Amino acid sequence: MNFLPYLSTIVTFAFTVAVYNRYRQRGGMHSLLWAIGLFFYGIGTLSEVILGLTFNVFVLKIWYLTGAMLTAAWLGMGTVHLLIRKSNAAWVITWILTAVSVLAAVLIFTAPAVSASYNVALPASAQYKDILTRGGLTILLTILLNIYGTLTLVGGAIYSAFLFWRKKILANRMFGNILIAAGALSPALGGTFLKAGFTDMLYISELIGAILMFIGFVMSTTGSTVAE
Amino acid sequence: MPINNDWHFLLKDFFRGQALKERTKGVNVSANQHSRRFSPNKLTEKIVPALLVVLVIVLLAVFIIIGLSSVGLIPLT
């Protein structure tokens, strides 16, 4: 299973570049925020690659911060900007998320950790709780950030797909959003399996999630002639 | 009457509570190359709604499981 993060990292960084290029070509804060979220996704899976080779407390903290706390929230933030364009609400939430992200980083990097018991042959997801001491606020922020991110990213994609279905237009974007929703749900399910003790499921779910979302993104954007 | 029924227009239109058909009333939407309307078939009429419902159920299930485990009703780690 240790090869899965390699594939996830390649797919995710390719996805990040694709989304960032779209932002450079067509603008749109949602694209930039998605690129940031995907960059966190890629950093998280890259950390899994490194932790499969050697242990480093800093890398483990980066893995937890990006993978467990920030990725879903920043991806969801992009969707919020897409759906709520004229209101300042999206910007207010963005600044709140930025502040919360900084707080999360401070909490993680100042959290005590022990490295003696780490086994590189096992997934980081199976061991981090024994190494990284997480306070109540860290756990609370992790839960809130993931609820916000999953709800906005998956909910937004389902909602968009529903709109296209109802209007019977842009089938490519309708199917693309269904794939994005399914892909975004995959790591959320992996996290749930992780809590149930199926630690290997996280790596599989991350790869499936990245692939599905990438295909969904390509489907949604290919052949689009309408300027955003 | 020009039609601007792109993705974001639809999303904005929805939030304003305006129906697309009112904006395009009397206009042959299918003649617009940007509208990209698709013809209803078995896939779009049956499978797509089912997929959307399944996704919503899974999304709710994840939240319910996490919620129940957070309050200690499901003994997850």
Q: Which residues of A touch B58 (CB under 8 A)?
A: 185, 189
Structure tokens, A22: 């779209």
Domains of chain A, CATH where assigned: 4-221 (1.20.1070)
Please give the model's pTM, rounded to 2 decimal places.
0.82
Structure tokens, A180: 């994005």
pLDDT (tens digit, 9 = 90+) per residue, A48-107? 999 999 988 999 999 999 999 999 999 999 999 999 877 788 999 999 999 999 999 999
Any idea where the domains of chain B sit in the sequence?
A: 1-37, 40-77
Q: Which residues of B touch A82 (CB under 8 A)?
A: 8, 11
ipTM rounded to 2 decimals = 0.79
- Answer whether A26 touches B (CB < 8 Å): no
Q: What is the pLDDT along chain B (77 residues), one digit of tens a residue?
A: 444 555 555 555 555 544 445 544 444 444 444 557 888 787 878 888 999 999 999 999 888 887 777 776 665 55
Under 8 Å between Cβ of A73 and A141: no
pLDDT (tens digit, 9 = 90+) per residue, A129-187? 888 888 889 999 998 999 999 999 999 999 999 999 998 888 899 999 999 999 999 98
pLDDT higher than threshold 90 for residue A202: no
- Integer angstrom CA distances of residue A24 from A18, A31, A38, B7: 10, 9, 16, 19
Under 8 Å between Cβ of A79 and A148: no
Average pLDDT over residues A23-38: 94
